[in-house]
């Protein structure tokens, strides 16, 4: 059976009035995609790039013959769920899982990938065309937790830059890590054994990429190379204050409306290493 997503084109015939694909809410009667298999050697590279372990729950959206979910369980010890609209493929995958000895750790469900609940997934696998990947991105940000990984064979998602890419066996594999939400205004406190300093952080976010400023009572500094990797945030400052070069490197972990981390400051008026904590005061 084939598992490559190819869009089904809806053709409306004026004479008959027929239309097989309806994007309005209602019961779906035909799949959005048809399938072509991901080669087994590429499957393994996808799962390795996503750092799949026994602690993961791998969802394959449009699971075809089930090979990605089965490999995740058999070779990496993970649990898995395959979502597939074709009932024959669901049955075939279920039998393949039994033969592979992993039926207790995986299941296959006849389900629409756009409406299915994927909130339990820590890894999502895709082999869909770019326009379908793009349609799924809002769903990923609604349902997946920060740190969950999305791994795709061959096709990316327009507008969302991968965190990692891998050239594997004449094809490409893409990895994204769902970032935490760091958007907003933050009140930050930096402390070490000598002093306590207050700052305001203003952060704007586009997927995992962050821009913004940090300011004290005297000056505002632009944040450079700011980005998120799951819940981890890193950013830096390279500027001057009172004629002295100031370099700050900040790392931290975003947990809801708080960030905690460490800051290394060189130059300026107060060099040193600080523990810092920020609280979001506005989104």
Q: Encode 69-138 in three state secondary structure.
A: HHHHHHHHCCEEEEEECCHHHHHHHHHHHHHHCCCCCEEEEECCCCCCCCCCCCEEEECCCHHHHHHHHH
β-pairing verdict for 79-84 and 106-110: parallel
| CB neighbours of residue 105 within 10 Å | 18
CATH of domain 184-282: 2.40.128.120
Q: How far apart are CA 277 and CA 267, in angstroms?
A: 21
Please give the angle made by the CA atoms of 102, 107 and 113, to the nearest 5 degrees: 140
pLDDT tens for 52-82 read 999 999 999 999 999 999 999 999 999 999 9
Query: What is each CA distance from 19 to 9, 11, 23, 78, in whole angstroms?
Result: 10, 6, 11, 41
Q: Which residues contact 50 (CB under 8 A, 6 or more apart)?
A: 123, 125, 149, 151, 175
User: Where does residue 250 rank: exposed (0-12), middle (13-18), buried (19+ CB within 10 A)?
Assistant: buried
How does residue 218 score in pLDDT terms, banded at 50, 70 and 90? confident
How does residue 34 score in pLDDT terms, banded at 50, 70 and 90? low
Please give the angle made by the CA atoms of 145, 164 and 70, to the nearest 5 degrees: 65
How does residue 18 score in pLDDT terms, banded at 50, 70 and 90? very low
How does residue 268 score in pLDDT terms, banded at 50, 70 and 90? confident
User: CB of 188 within 8 A of CB of 155?
Assistant: no
Question: Where do the domains of the chain lie?
Answer: 6-177, 184-282
Whether 263 shows a pLDDT value over 70: the answer reads yes
What's the residue count for the chain? 283
Q: What is the pLDDT of residue 160?
A: 97
Q: Which residues contact 5 (CB under 8 A, 6 or more apart)?
A: 32, 33, 34, 35, 62, 127, 128, 129, 132, 155
How does residue 269 score in pLDDT terms, banded at 50, 70 and 90? confident
Fold of the domain built from segment(s) 6-177: Rossmann fold (3.40.50)
Q: What is the pLDDT of residue 242?
A: 80
Q: Provide long-range contacts, Cβ within 8 A and 24+ apart, for 211-217.
A: 214/188, 214/248
Please give the angle made by the CA atoms of 56, 33 and 87, to the nearest 5 degrees: 70
Whether 196 shows a pLDDT value over 70: the answer reads yes
User: CB of 5 within 8 A of CB of 62?
Assistant: yes
What average pLDDT does range 177-187 have in this prediction?
98
User: Where does residue 51 rank: exposed (0-12), middle (13-18), buried (19+ CB within 10 A)?
Assistant: middle
How does residue 3 score in pLDDT terms, banded at 50, 70 and 90? very low
Whether 30 shows a pLDDT value over 90: the answer reads no
């Amino acid at each position: 059976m084939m598992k490559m997503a190819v869009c089904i084109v809806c053709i409306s015939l004026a004479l008959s009035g027929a239309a097989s694909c309806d994007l309005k809410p209602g019961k779906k009667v035909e799949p959005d995609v048809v399938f072509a298999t991901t080669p087994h050697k590429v499957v393994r590279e996808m799962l390795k790039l996503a750092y799949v372990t026994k602690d993961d729950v791998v969802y394959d959206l449009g699971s075809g013959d089930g090979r990605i979910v089965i490999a995740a369980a058999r070779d990496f010890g993970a649990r898995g769920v395959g979502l597939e609209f074709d009932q024959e493929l669901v049955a075939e995958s279920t039998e393949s899982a039994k033969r592979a000895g992993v039926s207790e750790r995986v299941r296959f469900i006849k389900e629409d990938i756009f409406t299915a609940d994927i909130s339990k997934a820590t890894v999502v696998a895709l082999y869909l065309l770019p326009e379908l990947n793009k349609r799924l991105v809002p769903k990923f940000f609604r349902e997946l937790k920060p740190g969950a990984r999305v791994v795709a064979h061959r096709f990316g998602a327009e507008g969302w830059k991968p965190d990692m890419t891998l050239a594997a066996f004449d094809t490409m594999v893409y990895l994204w890590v769902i970032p935490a939400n760091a958007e907003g205004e933050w009140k930050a406190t930096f402390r070490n054994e000598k002093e306590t300093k207050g700052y305001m952080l203003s952060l704007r976010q586009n997927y995992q990429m962050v821009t913004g400023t940090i300011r004290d009572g005297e000056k505002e500094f632009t944040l450079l190379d700011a980005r998120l990797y799951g819940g981890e945030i890193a950013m830096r400052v390279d500027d001057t204050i009172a004629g002295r070069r100031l370099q700050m490197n900040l790392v931290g972990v975003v947990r809801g409306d708080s960030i905690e981390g460490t800051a290394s400051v060189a130059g300026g008026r107060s060099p040193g290493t600080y523990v810092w904590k920020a609280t979001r005061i506005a989104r």
